Amino acid sequence: MLSNIHCPTVRIGKRSIIVFPYWISLLIIGILFGLVGAFTVLRDGLQVTGLSNAIPWGLWISIDLSAIAMGGSAFVFGVIVYILRIKRFEVIGKLAVLLGFLGYSTAGMVLLFDLGQPLRFWHPVVFWQPHSLLWEVTMCVVLYLSVLMAEVLPIVLEHPVFHMHPWLTRFSILGGLVKFVHKVSHWLHSASPILAVAGLTLSLLHQASLGATYSVLAGRGIWFNQSAPVQFVFSAMSGGIALLFLSSVFVFRVMRPGQVSDEALLDVARIAGGITLLLTYLRVWDWAVTNYYSFNRTIALQTEMLDTISPYTLTFWLGQALLPIIAGSILLAAKKVNFRLLMVVSFFPIIAAILTRWNYNFAGLIASISYDPFTPNIILNSYTPTWVEFSVATLVLSYWLLMFSLAARYLPFQSMKEHH
């Protein structure tokens, strides 16, 4: 079964080299470099970062928001596969669950380093403050990560090593353990519709409240926005499903030809395209609402000031409006002829989702309003991440890519029962 997996190769002269081992080595180097930064920040605290009292949330929070957005396909396909029971997405649904798990575990990991007191990460679970959006986000992430683990376990257990490895018979304790895990996994699998509903509720709740985390803060003008929660949900769906399309073409069409029909893959592209167009429609309305119907001089000034130091408005019109409209239209009208074009185009919704969150996080912090009563003005704060921040960023990105690569290379995405 595993011999059916085609690994990407690079042709140098007459020899064709399998990229996999080199790619994995590169990722392991990335993780080692990242561990140095992780150790530094845990030992010395957040003083080693470029964060300040003016900009307390930086690169790591942006990565956290983006990683969660990249897991946005899990709840959509959980519903499609386990509740609507659309059979042809079953295999793609497994990949979606895996992407969800990777996104959320990456986010959890980077948040751990971002806490001033990392050892108190469990406090929100015990000391409840239900009025805080961050409390809700934390609880949902913790619970949803558990749901995703329960959904990922059966997929990982499909690997033949858990069924026919000689050690399982040679060491009875190992065999017993695996049998027990299989039993748990079987039980989890039969509970998958419940898990899907739980996953949908939890992830919708907190994808929305991630936006609300920022948008309830009246003191930060540019963030104070009613549509942010909905935008965060849709941008996670559009970026997440675009990523799912990209990776499932790679994992199934390139590496496991024949396992998923092209039509099912194209449907994923169409869903991604449709949601991208819907999101862009909402984004443009939101722009009109804040800039035309409820024009606010403070917000306009904040935007103006941001434009003097960054391509803030340009990234909106180009990255979050124009390119997603083009990409969404192409994906919605996806046809069999050109998978390569579709793969390239599916990068744009992903970039748009990351850009939305990136801009959201930094806009309100960098251009903030002073509190003096007679002549308040906009203060521009500056922030440059240090090597430690880039190092931890490398750590979590390498972790994501490593886990994805190992899954793409080794997981069968096909249950033993179906196979026999």
Partner 1 sequence: MNDKNETPSEQGEQKIARRDLLKVGGALLGAAGLAQFFSLNSLAVRSKSDSHEAAGPKWGMLIDINKCIGCNYCTYACQAINNLADDMLYNVVTTETTQSGEEYFLSRPCMQCEEAPCVHVCPVGATYYRPDGIVAMDYTLCIGCRYCQVACPYSARVFNWRDPLGTTSKAPDFGLQEIENRPRGVVEKCHFCSHRIDYGVERGLVPGVDALATPACVVACPTGARVFGDLNDATSPISMAQVDASVTLRLREDLSTEPRVYYVSPVAESQAPFIQNVEG
DSSP 127-149: S--TT-HHHHHHHHHHHHHHHHH
- CB proximity list for 97: less than 8 A, separation 6 or greater: 74, 77, 78, 148, 151, 152, 155
Nearest approach, Cβ of residue 181 and partner 1 (Å): 32
Answer for which of 24, 36, 86, 318 binds partner 1 (CB under 8 A) is 86
When asked if residue 284 is in the footprint of partner 1 (CB under 8 A), the reply is: no
Binding residues for partner 1, how many (CB under 8 A)? 79
Residue closer to partner 1 by CB (options 241, 327) is 241
Nearest Cα neighbor of 287 from 276, 274, 300, 297 is 300
Site string for partner 1, 230-269 (x = CB under 8 A): x--xx--x-------------------------x---x--
> According to CB under 8 A, which residues from 376 to 395 bind partner 1?
376-378
Site for partner 1 in 159-188 (CB under 8 A): none
Q: How far is the CB of 219 from partner 1 (least distance, A)?
A: 3
Per-position b or e across 239-265, b if 16+ CB within 10 A of its CB: bbbbbbbbbbbbbbbbbbeebbeeebb
CB of 367 to partner 1, least distance (A): 10
Q: Write out the binding residues for partner 1, residues 195-234 only, by CB under 8 A.
A: 200-201, 204-205, 207-209, 211-213, 215-220, 226, 229-230, 233-234
Q: With the CA atoms of 18, 22, 23 and 27 taken in that order, what torsion angle do they form, in degrees rounded to the nearest 10?
A: 160
For partner 1, the closer of residues 225 and 398 by Cβ is 225
Positions 58 through 77 that interact with partner 1 (CB under 8 A): 76
**Shortest distance (Å) from residue 304 CB to partner 1:** 7
**Amino acid letter, residue 115:** L
Q: Which residues contact 420 (CB under 8 A, 6 or more apart)?
A: none
Single out the segment in contact with partner 1 by CB under 8 A; choices: 16-24, 41-49, 172-180, 383-391.
41-49
Which of 205, 234, 232, 82 minimizes the C-alpha distance to 144?
205
Residue type, position 200, single letter: L
Considering only residues 336 to 375 of the shown chain, the ones binding partner 1 according to CB under 8 A are: 364-365, 369, 371-375
How far, in Å, are 71, 115, 297, 316, 400 from residue 395 at the CA level?
18, 17, 41, 29, 9
